[in-house]
Structure 1
Amino acid sequence: MSTAPLQVEQRPRWRLAVWALVAAAVLAVTVWYVNSPTELPTSDRTISASTPVDQPVYVGVFAPGADFGRTLHLSGVKVHTTSNTAVRVVPLLCRGGTIGVTTAPESFCEELVNPKGETFAAGDDIVLEISSSEPAIAVIDRVRLGYRDGLQWGTHEAGSGSVVRILSR
């Protein structure tokens, strides 16, 4: 009786390597796409404002035009401020209106809310509430919005910077 030698059929390893490379490329493109939304509009202009001590001033720093065409789901707003004394800066979302500079935001906004977890679209405005208990000068950089836009996530600068003078009474 004759016996045939045992043979193990080998699959070509090059196919496995090609599929691994294709999967890695698809994964890399997907990660890049998800983390690369289009940047937000910025401006080189600086908004100037002044207010007396202990009187908050509201400065609109990012109000995209009607052609914005995006709805952002905000995860937060970051603000970087340089000042000569302690200054309180709170980012807010003005719904249904825009603010230049004011001490009475209710006149311009249908609703003024914390932006975290809210949606942001054309017709809305990111506003900074700025106050201090002593005279100060605050230089505020453009805000940075953390957001989701469809499947994409990002954190980008937006709008304008500002300089606020807090005056003694």
Structure 2
Amino acid sequence: MPATCLVVMGVSGAGKSTIAAHLADELGWPMAEADEFHPEANIAKMSAGTPLTDADRMPWLEALRAWIDERGAAGESVIVTCSALKRTYRDVLRRAGSRVRFVHLRGSADTVGGRLSGRSGHFMPPALLESQFADLEPLDPDEDGVALDVTTSPEAITDTALDRLGLRSGGHTGAGHDTNASG
């Protein structure tokens, strides 16, 4: 059975790092932050308030996929945080040798914006949130994953993700797709 990669996705401020850390603790899988795979030029653009282009994102997504492949080749399941806003970005990740599954954290612009404005020490300025919502494409029915509302507690979101993905106890990969999950 191939290794699994859970991609915790959504706009900046949705809670990707928090939920990914909870999932990593529950499953005992290593976790990576996609932000760490950005080249310096991308970080400089975002820090300056300039949205990244698709061309800017491709090397970043390819580097992340290479990491997933490296871990998967060793038989290791992993969790990554990645905005993965567009289907084309998710398709790059889905080309990994591992089974790639998505946990889409969704919330309103008001909810997420409130979280983002209270965050410090991150290169993504709140002004870019509008462009992220404009780019966001929900999971399609053929994409393996769940969409969960961010207004519940991190523990509840984690529990719901594990249940709906069939990953409760033992870390098996489960089956199915549930984009209508509300948390």
- TM bracket (short chain): under 0.3
Give the TM-score taking structure 1 as reference length.
Answer: 0.25
Task: Decide which structure has greater helix share.
Answer: 2
Larger radius of gyration, structure 1 or 2? 1
Give the TM-score taking structure 2 as reference length.
Answer: 0.24
Task: Decide which structure has greater strand share.
Answer: 1
